[in-house]
Amino acid sequence: MRKEIEKYEKYLLPSIKSRRFYKEKPLMLTNGEGAILKDIKGNEYIDLFSMNYIMFLGYKHPEILETIKRQVDKLIFSVYEFHTEPQLKLAEKLAKITPSNLRMSYFLNSGSEAVECALMISRQYTKKYEIISLYGSYHGKTTYGARSATGWSKAKRYIGPMLSGFIKIPWYYCYRCIFKMEYPECDLLCAKILEDALKYQGDGSVAAFIVEPILGSAGNIPPPKEYFIEINKILNSNDILFIDDEITAGLGRTGRMFAIEHYNVKPDIMTIGKTLGGGLPISATIVDEKIGESLDSFDYYVTYGGNPLACSVANVVVDLIWNNKLYKRAEKLGNYFIQGLKELSERYPLIGDVRGCGLMIGVELVKDVRTKKPAQEESLYILEKAREKGLILPAGRGWFKNVIRINPPVVITEEQIDKALNIIEELMREACRRFYR
């Protein structure tokens, strides 16, 4: 194992090392089934991470494996220049199930590419160029547009300058409200401030507002209920497009097929990815038909985009979620999990906040419930100890590195959630004993 780690560090860029969950003793995985992962030594873990939201349908899903085998036997690859059945079927399916008039798709490989495509479409369609996004939002790192929209200053360090024309407004993070206000007395200032941004920043050429319907990387933070209604009013009265970035939240995870369906508003452009490929790289930018029909001269190309292998798997992923209403399962299991975590929060002062939507849950750890000082050291302790107890628990995440971002596969069982809750309780007890004496 030591040899493998040394080779990893010799042959892969150091950014791999800084990303790994377990810094000293990295976990080498060999196998996965359902919501269970296995390491090289045969140890088993309940997975609450889903490989950064990707494995919503779990590991080794029989229909996904079967589809891959079948498609590989037929046609493994083709480019946009040729038509294929899997691509057409997928586009038609998405047109039927996505909300509002989202009808025309373009398939890409990653979330960043889908976001980049959405940004370019919004500029080309509106002939305007400014883009507004939120503090703490995450829209990707692979391309400069996605990175410029991302609201993390760290993501921009040493590789700037970012693109011009990107404006940020405060996020909807109620537990740590930037205005130090309480909902609902705040009267949704974090949404209404968009009007000020239009008035005082930029030059009146705003093409689009891009937003996550639940902030994922910042710590699985849902917005206040009426947030999007308020935002939408401002966008409509200023002719600004609404880009709904559902790369993490889309396709069932939050308890609806698409997370924006919680809020009764209609996006003009939507991006999806992660869950879509069931582990294969594919993403999509889906646009309102009136925008799509006007994009004759839109030139966006990525060689792997829309290939038949990824599209055939995506078809099965969408069918499995839609036909089996797996979003309802996500809602039910999510409520069950959140309930268990809320009960723990009453017993353990380390837990400052439990929030979430379906199987996209954030547990915020704090040193003191009054000061809300982020419990970063405690989070790292919990991350490591959870592994010893057979749980992949993504602790130490979010903006302040103190959130457990719980996003298990939807195939997780209630028994596995109970087991996970028991382990989390043990961890809370041990951490409180260790850090709160």
List residues binding ligand PLP (CB under 6 A). 110-112, 115, 138-140, 142, 212, 216-217, 245, 247-248, 273
Nearest CB to ligand PLP, comparing residues 151 and 352: 151
Alpha-carbon 183 to chain mean position:
24
**For residue 33, what is the DSSP state?**
E
- Measured distance CA(109)–CA(79) in Å, rounded: 13
Query: Nearest residue by C-beta to ligand PLP?
Result: 111
Side chain identity, residue 213:
P
- For residue 148, what are the contacts with CB-CB under 8 A and spacing of at least 6? 131, 156, 162, 163, 166
Q: Which is nearer to ligand PLP, 248 or 345 (CB)?
A: 248
Query: Are residues 330 and 357 in contact, defined by beta-carbon separation less than 8 angstroms?
Result: no
Amino acid letter, residue 189: L
Nearer Cβ to ligand PLP (68/284):
284
Q: DSSP letters of 50-109?
A: HHHHT-TT-BS-HHHHHHHHHHHHH-----TTS--HHHHHHHHHHHHHSSTTEEEEEEES
For the beta sheet containing 283-288, the strands, ordered from the edge strand earlier in sequence to the opposite edge, are: 102-108, 283-288, 269-272, 241-245, 206-211, 130-134, 166-169
Judged by beta carbon, residue 67 or residue 248, the one nearer ligand PLP is: 248
CA distances from 413 to 224, 272, 339, 410 (A): 29, 26, 16, 8
Q: Considering the complex, what minimum distance in angstroms separates the CB of residue 3 from ligand PLP?
A: 30
Cross-strand partners of 286: 105, 270
Nearer to ligand PLP, 29 or 155 (CB): 155
Rounded to a whole number of angstroms, the minimum distance from the CB of residue 334 to ligand PLP is 18
Q: How far is the CB of 304 from ligand PLP (least distance, A)?
A: 13
Q: Cβ closer to ligand PLP: 216 or 292?
A: 216
Residue nearer to ligand PLP on the CB measure, 340 or 396: 396
| Interatomic CA distance for residues 104 and 95, integer angstroms | 7
Count Cα neighbours of 343 within 13 Å in the Cβ-side half-sphere. 10
Least separation in angstroms between residue 140's CB and ligand PLP is 3
Query: In the complex with ligand PLP, which residue's Cβ is closer, 136 or 273?
Result: 273
CB of 412 to ligand PLP, least distance (A): 21
Residue 214 contacts residue 360 (beta carbons within 8 Å):
yes
The residue written with tokens 């057409």 in the block is 88
- DSSP secondary structure letters along 405-423: EE---TT--HHHHHHHHHH
In three-state secondary structure terms, 360 is: strand
From the CB of 398, what's the least distance to ligand PLP, in Å?
Answer: 12
Cis (ω within 30 of 0) for the bond into 14? no
- Rounded to whole angstroms, the Cα distance separating 162 from 158 reads 10
Q: How far is CA 71 from the centre of its chain?
A: 28
State in angstroms the smallest separation of the CB of 35 from ligand PLP: 20
Contact 145, 115 (CB under 8 A): yes
Nearer to ligand PLP, 247 or 354 (CB): 247
The two tokens of residue 84 are 């294929």
Dist. CA 402–CA 367, nearest whole Å: 10
Is the Cβ of residue 36 or residue 54 nearer to ligand PLP in the bound state? 54
CB closer to ligand PLP, 155 vs 432: 155
Which residue is it, tokens 């592994």?
Answer: 387
- Minimum CB separation from ligand PLP for residue 290, in Å? 24
- The minimum distance between CB 179 and ligand PLP, in angstroms, equals 24
In the complex, least distance from residue 353 CB atom to ligand PLP, rounded to whole angstroms? 20
In whole angstroms, the minimum distance from the beta carbon of 273 to ligand PLP comes to: 5
